[in-house]
Structure 1
Amino acid sequence: MTATLEVSRSNHVMLLKIKDPGTRNALSGERFYRAIEDAVRTANDDLDVRCVVVTGDGKAFSSGGNVHDMHGRKGMFGGAPEQIAEQYRTGIQRIPMAFWKLDVPAIAAVNGPAIGAGCDLACMCDIRIASDRAVFAESFVKVGIVPGDGGSWLLPRAIGYARAAEMAFTGDPIDADEARELGLVSRVVPHDQLMTVALELAARIAANPPHALRWSKRLLRESQIARLDTVLEMAAAYQALAHGTEDHAEAVSALLEKRRPTFKGR
């Protein structure tokens, strides 16, 4: 059994829901990896998509790796060391690479436990909102392995090196309130309000011009690895493009005329 990805659309927002109740939404299987890549490709190619929301089905966001497969040395966990390394490269590591290429803003609506790779999946998103039932753990050491899906790169950028090191070296879980204190999530909401709050935020993001959103995300993404002068040069280039769009003219006109703008991605 492998996870499935339920993809739906509402106005300018794409919702991705991970579904595998038998493993509490473990992230595994060629079908699942391909579905993530396909969803990202669709979002990038379609200017009508302006925000993506990621959540889990049922009581968990994602349990990460399939522990039963680890125990049985099956799937990506089976074979000689060089086979396992290649299975990580061509398997679960496709998820962080896909999200790194996602041009539109992404929100993780963390509805329950986000464990191991599930915690890292949340970190792949730009914004994280947690249910008060959410739990986070960078728990790879608890099963004698390392963060194999990019967590060692993602988590320090979300909460800083020292706090990420504490989570990774102990493997201990933290609750939603502690996650907020660490800056891992931006807000904690009652469980039954999670999707309402996440989708409302997505709608506020999606109300903006699609090109400006995508270029802003690219600048934020590159700022994590590039020098200031490089990012400033990129900003100047994108700004020149932005000033030439119809959406920019519409935004300025609407502001001066005190009306709601209508953006067409042009």
Structure 2
Amino acid sequence: MQAFLEQEREGHILVARMNRPESRNALTKPEYMQEFVDLCADIRRNRSIKVLVLTGNGPAFCAGGNVKDMRDRTGIFEGGPAELRNQYRDGIQRIPLCVYELDIPVIAAINGPAIGAGLDLACMCDVRVAADSAKFAESFIKLGLVPGDGGAWLLQRVVGKPRATLMSLTGDTINSEQALEWGLITESVPADELMDCAMGIARSMAANPAHALRMTKRLLREAEHLSLPSLLEMSAAYQALAHHTEDHSEAVNAFLERREPRYTGN
């Protein structure tokens, strides 16, 4: 069976492409969710990967759930309330948990519409860049549904509560220009420049020492819910670890010797 997530490597960067363009990369099958879980597990085991870039093949980034399956109550939308609840918990809700726990930065290269769960998937990433033709909608309410995959938690942390409330309660679509103004994305570029933009950011991140990159990402995540004193304690512990890495010594020496550093990941 053809994989939902196509993978390719460029040095320390892993690119994963959702590859169901005929369905606009809709998240319709349990095996698609499992591929995300497996991908994150593989990344956690492979310390040579420093950055993940997530994008979609075809005209859309991700169209969310399959509306025809909702109508027919088939696939992941089959069964009574108790069964559906467990299908969400054991299915799509595993994606935000595994992506959120990644220690490496994740960049979303949003090549087209990111709708419903597709928007939430983009919000799971640390940095979002988009084609200027991309569209965005937290559209669950238009189908009489609620964000079932963590969108109520994710979106307001990206665009703020007032705008997340507006998007969630209207379900209206915004364009790339408005997404940039709202801080949902950091770059809006012509479609044919999107991957160059995303990969440029990825290369800039991957050029840094691996331990510091991972620990900085973790501090940013933990800062979302820790008190300042708790975060300072964690920062002190991480900094003590960083001071005793070989890459820190190499960075200091390279700076003082006015040369490019040669990091080993140690």
- How far the C-alpha of 1:188 sits from its partner, in A, is 0.5
Structure 2 unaligned regions, length at least 5: none
Give 1:27-42 correspondences, 5 Å limit: 27-42=27-42
Q: Report 1:156-167 matches (<5 A).
A: 156-167=156-167
What one-letter code is carried by the residue in structure 1 that aligns with 2:25?
Answer: N
Residue 34 (structure 1) shift = 1.7
- 1:22 deviates by 2.5
Deviations 1:142-174 (A, max 9, x none): 111000000000000001000000000000000
- Cα distance, 1:28 vs structure 2: 2.7
**Residue of structure 2 equivalent to 1:67:** 67
Q: Name the residue aligned to 1:118.
A: 118
Task: Tell me the residue number matched to 1:207.
Answer: 207
Q: Secondary structure at the match of 1:65?
A: coil
2: CA distance between counterparts of 1:233 and 1:193?
42
Counterpart of 2:63 in 1: which secondary structure?
Answer: coil
**Pairwise CA distance, 1:2:** 9.4
Change (3 A) 1:164 1:2: farther
SS of the equivalent of 1:258 reads coil
**2:30–2:76 contact (8 Å) kept in structure 1:** no
What is the letter of the counterpart of residue 192 of structure 1? Answer: D
User: What CA deviation, in whole Å up to 9, does each residue of 1:92-115 have, x standing for no partner?
Assistant: 101101111111000000000000
Number of residue equivalences: 266
Give distance in 2, aligned partners of 1:31 and 1:10. 26
2:127 corresponds to: 127
1:82 aligns with 2:82: yes
| Residue ranges of structure 1 left out of the alignment (5+ in a row) | none
Do the aligned residues in 2 keep the contact of 1:76 with 1:87 (CA within 8 Å)? Answer: yes
Is this contact kept in 2: 1:131–1:188, CA < 8 A?
yes
In 2: Cα distance, 1:168 partner to 1:129 partner? 21
Alignment-derived partner of residue 13 in structure 2: 13
**Residue equivalent to 2:4:** 4
Q: Which TM-score applies when normalising by structure 1? A: 0.98
- Secondary structure of the structure 1 residue equivalent to 2:17: strand
In the alignment, which residue of structure 2 is the partner of 1:148? 148
Q: Using the TM superposition, give the Cα deviation of residue 35 of structure 1 relative to its aligned residue in structure 2, in angstroms.
A: 1.3
Matched, 1:251 2:251: yes
Give the letter aligned to residue 258 of structure 1: R
Structure-1 separation of matches of 2:8 and 2:219:
28
Counterpart secondary structure, 1:149 = coil
Contact 2:13 2:50 in 1 (8 A): yes
Q: Distance in 1 between matches of 2:241 and 2:128?
A: 30
Distance 1:247 1:144 in 2: 52
Cα distance in 2 for residues equivalent to 1:45 and 1:103: 11
Code of the residue aligned with 2:263 in structure 1: it is F
Q: CA deviation at 1:241?
A: 0.1
3-state DSSP class of the match of 2:164? helix
